[in-house]
Amino acid sequence: MIYHDLVIIGGGPAGLAAAVSAKDNGIDDILVIEREKEPGGILNQCIHNGFGLHTFGEELTGPEYAARFIDQVLSRGIPCKKNTMVVDFSVADNQKVVTAMNREDGIFQISAGAVILAMGCRERPRGALNIPGFRPAGIFSAGTAQRLVNMEGFMPGREVVILGSGDIGLIMARRMTLEGAKVKVVAELMPYSGGLKRNIVQCLDDFGIPLKLSHTVIDIEGKERVEAVTIAQVDGNGRPVPGTEERYTCDTLLLSCGLIPENELSRSAGIHINPITSGPVVSDALETSAEGVFACGNVLHVHDLVDYVSQEAAAAGKNAARFLLKGKPEHAGRIIELVAENGIRYTVPSFLNPAEMDDTVTVRFRVDGVYRNHAITVCYDGKPTSRRKRPVMAPGEMEQVILHRKELALYPDLKQIAIRIEKA
């Protein structure tokens, strides 16, 4: 069995940034495993700009952003096994074993001192949406359509309806329009968009594409190819409201109905999963419930900006290096629980160890609805300690709170930190 100090599963933006960080923090024996023929992950098909403002201080396209990190990995001599699929990951008696396969090596196993999970996420499929109708050609996930147009050079269709207002769906509304298609409507089940505000403006408003909130597809017509779809308004329980039906003739339906972290490997290893994020439960070191196994990027929770993925991955790489060089601290110290309350859906991380944490820890989270003129309040054991006003908060945009080690040291008996939404 092959051995590596650090194995990183996934060569997308999270895996690449984690590898660079681990190398810079003293780990030389690193292996990145990537299932595609080239590293870079989803960024390779995201040819629009808007990436890198936080990380590099300039606007880059997805491939340009990925290329920056690929160059950093190559310049450090970090090997990347491409076209390699990880089929199993197990943790038993502190033995971490990765089982993978490719055409050259067949099936092989790698023993690792530490593992970083960076498998990213996938789109929610049509089967999970329960849309009635036939199963004709012309129904694509937005990400599949993006790959077809941007990488394969194929147009999925000419008359398009989009279900779901996630960022990929919004971006594909613009992309299909620029390629000559007619995007007739974007329907969103929720009463708010799931994408960034800037994408609503730049991808829909600038092109006159209507966005219908609290609407869903209730029928798909066509047997060989999509011929038309019917959308309707939904009530507070998500049920179609009779009399609100609208029929649109089209040859293509794109689905942009959410992203799901790729955690089949995490579950098979017995790692605890947060039911809200569908990602692993992690500490402030981004360590999962399995000792020496770390998680970062969209496999942990779905991000809106790749810059935040890179920041999180850099922290995971640094903490994995610390684990390999120093081992688990003998005295773990007290644990402070992080709790999401009153409008906050979840927090990442879920708990922290103030004795071992960095000088600052960024706690990221999403809200459960649209809040105007509200504040994010942080409470120590029920007592409010900080309050930050926000003019608008929405589920499509990630929020964050930064905790300071020096401040936590002033509360030696602190057991719980709650983050909640309150009226400003």
**What's the pLDDT score for residue 128?**
59
* Strand-pair category, 2-9 with 106-117: parallel
Q: How much is the pLDDT for 377?
A: 96
pLDDT of residue 194: 87
Averaged pLDDT, 317-346: 87
Predicted confidence (pLDDT) at residue 126 exceeds the cutoff of 90: no
Q: Could you report the per-residue pLDDT of 140-154, keeping only the tens digit for each?
A: 999 999 999 999 999
pLDDT reported for residue 206:
96
pLDDT at 13: 96
- Residue 368, pLDDT > 70, answer yes
Ranking 83-87, 156-160, 333-337 by mean pLDDT, the lowest is: 333-337
The answer on pLDDT for 196 being more than 80 is yes
Which pLDDT does position 257 carry in this prediction?
Answer: 87
The mean pLDDT value for 311-334 works out to 86
Q: What is the DSSP letter of 299?
A: G
Of all residues in the chain, the percent with pLDDT exceeding 70 is 98
Q: Are strands 399-404 and 360-365 parallel, antiparallel or unpaired?
A: antiparallel
Tokens matching residue 80: 């990347």
Q: Tell which phi-psi region holds residue 209, choosing left (phi > 0), alpha (psi between -120 and 50) or beta.
A: beta
What are the tens digits of pLDDT across the range 43-52?
999 999 989 9
pLDDT tier at 331, thresholds 50, 70, 90: low
| Residue 63 pLDDT greater than 90, yes or no | yes
Least confident of 6-10, 157-161, 385-389: 385-389
pLDDT value, residue 115: 97
Res. 332 pLDDT band, cuts 50 70 90 = low
User: Is residue 397 pLDDT above 80, yes or no?
Assistant: yes
Q: Average pLDDT of 83-88?
A: 96
3-class SS of residue 144: helix
Q: Give residue 69's pLDDT band: very low, low, confident or very high (50, 70, 90).
A: very high
Q: Sort strands 159-163 and 85-92 into parallel, antiparallel or unpaired.
A: unpaired
**CB-based contacts of 42, cutoff 8 Å, min separation 6:** 12, 62, 120, 143
Of 136 and 126, the one with more pLDDT: 136
Inform me whether the pLDDT recorded for 1 exceeds 90.
no
When pLDDT is averaged across residues 331-356 and rounded to a whole number, the result is 89
Range 370-402 burial, b when 16+ CB lie within 10 A, else e: ebeebbbbbbbeeeeeeeeebeebbbbbbbebe
pTM of the model: 0.93
What is the Cα Rg of the chain in Å? 22
Q: Does residue 29 carry a pLDDT above 60?
A: yes
Quick one: pLDDT band at residue 330, thresholds 50, 70, 90?
A: low
Predicted confidence band of residue 216 (pLDDT cuts 50, 70, 90): very high
Q: How far apart are CA 279 and CA 347, in angstroms?
A: 11
* pLDDT value of residue 334: 80
- Give whole-number Cα distances, 231 to 44, 173, 249, 362, in Å: 33, 17, 11, 41
What pLDDT score does 375 carry?
95
User: In which band, very low, low, confident or very high, does the pLDDT at 252 lie, cut at 50, 70 and 90?
Assistant: very high
